Amino acid sequence: MRTDAPATSTHAERRRISLTGCVQGVGFRPFVYRLAKQLMLSGWVNNTPQGVEIEIEGAAGTIDLFEKQLQGEAPVHARIHTLNSQRVAPLGVVGFEIRESAASGVIGTIPPDLAVCAECAREIFEPQNRRYRYPFTNCTHCGPRFSILERAPYDRANTSMKCFEMCAACAVEYGDPADRRFHAQPNACPACGPQLQLWDAAGRTLAQRDDALNAAAAAIQAGKIVAVKGIGGFQLMVDARSDSAIARLRERKHRDAKPFALMFPLLDAIRVECEVDTLEAELLTSAAAPIVILQRSAASRLPEILAPRHPTLGAMLPYSPLHILLLDALKAPVVATSGNVSDEPICIDEHEALRRLAGLADLFLVHDRPIVRAVDDSVVRVFAGREMMLRRARGYAPLPIRVGFTLPGITAFGAHVKNSVAISRGDEVIVSQHVGDLETAEARAALETTLRDLPRLFEHEAELSAADVHPDYASTRLALRTGAPVLVQHHYAHVLSCMAENELQAPVLGVAWDGAGLGLDGASWGGEFLAINASGFERVAHLRPFLLPGGDAAAREPRRTALGVLYEIFGTEVFERTELAPVQAFSAHERMQLLTVLSRKVNTHETTSIGRLCDAVAALLKLCPVSSFEGQAAMLLEFAIGEVATDASYAMPLRGTIVDWEPAVREILADLSDHVSVALIAAKFHNALVEAIISVARASGQSAVALSGGCFQNKYLTERAVARLRASGFTPYWHRRVPPNDGGIALGQILAAARSLET
């Protein structure tokens, strides 16, 4: 787009400025254009696959000011990682232009999807505005990015919006430097952009445009389950105030007790139901607009069935104009859960949704803007005064994680549950959006799609690949079929992931606690203390092992795990202790079978897992004999603490390299016998786990301690560990931008593979 005719000029200097970072899809070129015009500089700006390139001509002092303002006044969602400026020969032309994007080179940062901005949100409620009630309103500051991008750079022709030709009015906005839609790639309006339809379960159109939205809202109010096609995929929505609608959704989705995420019309509506501090409010209203895990308020009147036995609720605000209009019509919160059956990836295509959500959704609110890739809602929780990512997807992916040193080209296949994959590039690791658990054929297909999509999008060619050492992980099996990956021990990857996002160098003491991961000795690990050195790790301590009767069944039945723990202490006589909850949980016949299993070590395996130990204690306290979803028992054990505040702790001594849990379990049994409250027992147990960390940290001689693994999703455990480590003279590090759970494993695998090349 030319703005001035060329003319001769006596400008003294010209510079070529190359920028990398998140500088596409965030209004950066329009910002550069306006800044150059304001300072009366000439030249051009364009998108390149690696970022943004500028040539700027004028007086040297003015160009210095241009570079300063370029970095200090960039658009709010822009992130400049590098700025390289070099002098080139002046051309003697005036005027400034936005040029067509360069089509080749190394791909730069790709922007995530951004929540609707305040200006666009206001426009859709202005009757005189031509975008009044238009559910696909956006500008350079907001709207879909990653979910509609087919290839880089981020230009309309490279997105799924290419099939919508801008009308004359939208084209004027797109070409006007004074308009905030100047070069807004998804720009559209009711005359030329995507449109809504409401379908029945057979795919027949019931209503269109605004009528479709209003009919969908009425259906939700009437107790129906409506599948809504959002930015990154379908969501299933029901009235969050209706016990019967929620119960029907649980039954159809096969989700017995796992909490549902809620979408509220306004922040004030969330404050009615939840306690919201300053940082939580900032997260809720941010451009990422994640689900934020909040403490439920005492005044909350929402049904218990939303999050059975949980004192928290996962809340988010409407992040697209479609959601804003729908929630405005409802004037009430809705369940907004992923559009899938449990363990399957979310649906992104309306015809696919008709098939996969058949019998689940009553109606389908769809639109004709194609979704290029599934991007689920992100989930965060505030820990120790800062956010911690629990699921990384919309609003965050695929922003890179910078590690502080140059990496070779590596592809990481991730873990089996909460899977994400990653690729390395320079000093960055690009972690994919959340893929999910790989239990179903659909989920494994989604993994393969993501492994093709991410390298293609970034034009990444790997020198090597990395996967988990567990041969039965679907991700590992795929990696082995497609090459010869570096096989990385699971807990080593956890610690390296934490180190990477904190830009930590060895030596570090890593505390890797989770439910299970295959150890180098072939056993199931999960309560690990790893001394990270320059080339690898040493397992310097771990939880005392115990047996899991029934193998993997014990992960679903904490009562089995508890019997394994008690058997380690009492042997066969444990089955005579019928006063104990885990023993009571089985019939006499079942107890005889379990006795045989444990005494003969048939269909059992040994574990050092803190996650399983937490399950065992939860079963002892009658909190969760059988789990209906992963981590449920440990969550209920954390929540059981309630408002108890104590520094009292059970004994969990370090004996050589073994953290011995037996004294703690014996004390728990004594407290149960003395009718000590479950809340106090739960607090003392968590405190014992923290004191075990302190003991090993002191014995290790390391000052830096990295906390990683799914157990550190536990707010009480993490916050107490951070506080006690600091008080004891150590420097704790924990996760923020990457999940501590298996969603962060791919990042650690990248680092492990890179380290393997150095040895």
- Cβ atoms of residues 736 and 393 within 8 Å: no
Contacts of 295-303 with CB under 8 Å at 24 or more apart are: 297/272, 297/273, 299/272, 299/273, 300/272, 300/273, 300/274, 301/273, 302/240, 302/241, 302/262, 302/273, 302/333, 303/240, 303/241, 303/242, 303/243, 303/246
CB 223 within 8 A of CB 245: yes
CB burial readout 371-386, b (16+ within 10 A) else e: bbbbbbbbbbbbbbee
Q: Which of 328, 363, 339 is nearest to 226 (CA)?
A: 363
In the predicted model, what is the mean pLDDT of residues 20-39?
85
Report pLDDT digits (tens) over 479-489. 999 989 999 99
Indicate the range of 82-96, 425-439, 738-752 predicted with least confidence. Answer: 82-96
Q: Which amino acid is at 302?
A: L
Task: Quote the CA–CA distance of 503 and 405 in Å, as a whole number.
Answer: 9
Q: Could you tell me if 250 and 240 are in contact, meaning their C-beta atoms sit under 8 angstroms apart?
A: no
Is residue 472 predicted with pLDDT exceeding 80? yes
pLDDT at 48 (0 to 100): 80
Which residue, among 445, 482, 446, has the nearest Cα to 464 in the 3D structure?
482
Q: Which amino acid is at 564?
A: G
**CA 498, CA 475: separation in Å to the nearest integer?**
21
Q: What are the tokens at 432?
A: 């994919």
| Sequence-distant (≥ 6) Cβ neighbours of residue 481 within 8 angstroms | none
- What phi and psi, each to the nearest 5 degrees, are found at residue 629? -155, 160
The residue to which tokens 């005494």 are assigned: 599
Q: Is 706 exposed, middle or buried (0-12, 13-18, 19+ CB in 10 A)?
A: buried
Q: What is the DSSP string of 367-433?
A: ESS--SS--PPPEEEEETTEEEEEE--TTTTTPPEE-SS----EEE---SSSB--EEEETTEEEEPP
| Residue listed under structure tokens 């880089």 | 152
The predicted pLDDT at position 84 comes to 86
The string of pLDDT tens digits covering residues 662-676 is 999 999 999 999 999
Residues 6+ away with beta carbon under 8 Å from 616: 558, 561, 562, 564, 565, 582, 665
Q: What is the pLDDT of residue 759?
A: 65
Residue 266 in tokens: 């306004």
pTM: 0.91
Give the residue carrying structure tokens 């799914």.
710
Give the model's confidence band at 9: pLDDT under 50 very low, under 70 low, under 90 confident, else very high.
very low
The string of pLDDT tens digits covering residues 623-657 is 999 999 999 999 999 999 999 999 999 999 999 99
What is the pairing mode between strands 42-48 and 96-98?
parallel
- Residue 547 identity: L
pLDDT band at residue 182 under the 50/70/90 scheme: confident
Reported as a single tens digit per residue, the pLDDT across 196-211 is 999 999 999 999 999 9
Pseudo-torsion of CA 622, 628, 633, 639, nearest 10°? Answer: -90
Coil, strand, or helix at residue 508? strand
Query: Rounded CA gap, 651 and 544, in Å?
Result: 14
Give the residue ranges of DSSP H helices in 168-208.
Answer: 168-175
Average pLDDT over residues 115-129: 97
pLDDT for 99 equals 84
Strand partners of residue 317: none
The share of the chain scoring above pLDDT 70, in percent, equals 97
Distance CA 140, CA 27 (A): 5
The pLDDT of 290-294, averaged and rounded, is 98
State yes or no: pLDDT of 342 exceeds 90.
Answer: no
Distance CA 418, CA 434 (A): 7
- Asked if pLDDT for residue 11 goes beyond 60, the answer is no
According to DSSP, the β-strands at 546-549 and 537-543 are unpaired
Please check the confidence at residue 1 and state whether its pLDDT lies above 80: no
Least confident of 105-114, 142-151, 233-242, 299-308: 105-114
